[in-house]
Amino acid sequence: MTREVVRVTAGKVLRSEDLIQDEKEVAASILRANPAFGNPHVVRCSWCRETRTLFRDESDGPFKAIAHGWSCEPCDVRAASQEVKF
């Protein structure tokens, strides 16, 4: 549940008008309390345009975690990612 709160907030960080009061601070406090989570990354396939917000140890949907980043399995390409820092 706590990862999902951080994941949803990370998706809104680049669109600051969508953030509700103290939402960013709540997510930052969850990450400080759980340093093993690391910061979330917005992962995007340049071929199919699929996008997900994932933590470093997660694989979801078409994205599979690899040694350095993620791979979009259906497209067989390395996905781009951007770390979201709070």
Q: What does pLDDT average to in each consecutive run of 10 residues of the chain (86 residues)? A: 84 71 84 90 96 93 95 97 90
Query: Rounded distance, CA 58 to CA 55, Å?
Result: 5
The parent domain of residue 31 ranges over 2-83
Closest C-alpha to 43, from 73, 81, 3: 81
C-alpha distances (whole Å) from 14 to each of 3, 8, 19, 64 are: 18, 12, 10, 24
Number of CB atoms found within 10 A of residue 36's CB? 8
Q: Which two tokens stand for residue 62?
A: 């078409």
The total number of structural domains that make up the chain = 1
Whole-model pTM over 0.85: no
Q: Which two tokens stand for residue 72?
A: 């979009």
pLDDT at 22: 82
